[in-house]
């Protein structure tokens, strides 16, 4: 009669269970070995996680003031609850229609014009054969990105003034009969904001597409050349499909930020004369909430905007997943 070799009181483990336990222990040991071998990289990553927790997650506690009547004299815990009062007040505001129109108008035009332009620019720049010329164009194109809107706003205000270079050129070409105060005319504000934003970010936005294009296998281009494809056909049938996932991810992120109208740019270029075209959500929150000391109200508007942005992100993510099997999560 065979004796059980286990000395414990429990039933004997099967060979499969013992193998799974040994595998689990081995995986844990292997994980700790990898973490130990990457201790310097893991330390750097841990610092980033700690920073994110301190500055991104812990302050989220303050979101509850959107449901309270908070003032700086009392603490958040002492502030009385008012529920959805601030949200209703925002939805009943007489300026809401104009704010939404300006925000969506500027953001959607930026999305539909400003989003594909860096892709087109990257495709054509990739076709340039002269390395020196290519680097020069790329440097010139993304240089405005490193200038703040305070600097660029001053430059644009000078160019668009009554005696600025734009009016001087148009007057010299007999396009206009008298100078135009562009920043004082609401009808010109959207065009100025959208065109200046594209000018500032075109080259910088194209960098990620150029990086994705550089990863396309040269063999695919060689095969297309053998099949008789020209440059435009290669861009359409080889390059674009190869960077499709990159385009999809960036488009999802762009859709989620459609309610953001670049507060820095708006703040620099707006004035009392173009207020009807420049009053967007971000400036509305700044003017109505922050400058007036209505912190609970501004938090409520910002929270509502964030919820809508999350919904847009989920919708764009699901649509992208169904169309081309590419998504953030």
- Rounded Cα distance, 181 and 166, in Å: 10
Distance CA 94, CA 251 (A): 33
DSSP string of 107-174? HHHIIIIITHHHHHHHHHHHT---HHHHHHHHHHHHGGGGS-HHHHHHHHHHHTSTTSHHHHHHHHTT
What domains are defined for the chain?
15-67 (no CATH), 85-324 (1.10.3720.10)
Give yes or no for residue 3 having a pLDDT over 50: no
More confident residue, 10 or 279: 279
Q: Which residue has the tokens 């009808």?
A: 187
> pLDDT tens across 37-68, in order?
888 888 888 998 999 999 989 988 889 999 99
Sign (positive or negative) of CA dihedral 67, 68, 69, 71: negative
81: β partners: 68
Q: How many C-beta atoms lie closer than 10 Å to residue 179's C-beta?
A: 15
pLDDT in tens, 223-282: 988 888 888 898 999 999 999 999 999 999 999 889 888 899 999 999 989 999 999 999
């Amino acid at each position: 009669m065979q004796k059980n070799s286990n000395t414990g009181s429990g039933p004997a483990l099967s060979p499969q269970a013992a193998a799974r336990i040994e595998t689990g222990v081995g995986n844990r040991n292997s994980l700790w070995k990898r973490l130990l071998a990457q201790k310097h990289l893991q330390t750097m990553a841990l610092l980033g996680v700690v920073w994110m927790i301190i500055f991104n997650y812990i302050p989220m506690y303050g979101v509850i003031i959107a449901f309270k009547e908070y003032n700086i004299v009392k603490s958040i815990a002492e502030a009385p609850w008012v529920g959805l009062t601030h949200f209703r007040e925002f939805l009943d505001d007489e300026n809401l229609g104009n704010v939404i129109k300006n925000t969506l108008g500027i953001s959607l035009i930026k999305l539909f014009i400003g989003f594909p332009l860096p892709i087109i620019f990257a495709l054509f720049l990739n076709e340039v054969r002269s390395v020196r010329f290519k680097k020069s164009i790329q440097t010139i194109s993304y240089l405005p990105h490193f200038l703040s809107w305070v600097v660029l706003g001053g430059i644009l205000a000078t160019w668009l003034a009554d005696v600025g270079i734009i009016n001087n050129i148009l007057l010299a070409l007999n396009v206009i009969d008298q100078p135009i105060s562009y920043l004082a005319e609401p009808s010109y504000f959207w065009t100025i904001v959208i065109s200046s934003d594209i000018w500032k970010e075109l080259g910088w936005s194209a960098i990620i597409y150029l990086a994705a294009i550089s990863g396309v296998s040269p063999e695919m281009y060689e095969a297309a050349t053998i099949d008789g494809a020209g440059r435009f056909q290669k861009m359409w049938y080889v390059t674009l499909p190869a960077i499709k996932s990159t385009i999809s991810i960036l488009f999802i992120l762009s859709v989620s930020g459609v309610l953001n109208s670049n507060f820095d740019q708006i703040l620099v270029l707006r004035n009392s004369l173009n207020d009807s075209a420049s009053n967007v959500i971000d400036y509305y929150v700044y003017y109505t909430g922050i400058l007036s000391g209505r912190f609970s109200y501004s938090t409520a508007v910002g929270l509502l905007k964030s919820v809508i942005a999350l919904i847009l992100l989920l919708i764009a993510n699901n649509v992208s997943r169904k169309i081309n099997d590419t998504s953030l999560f």
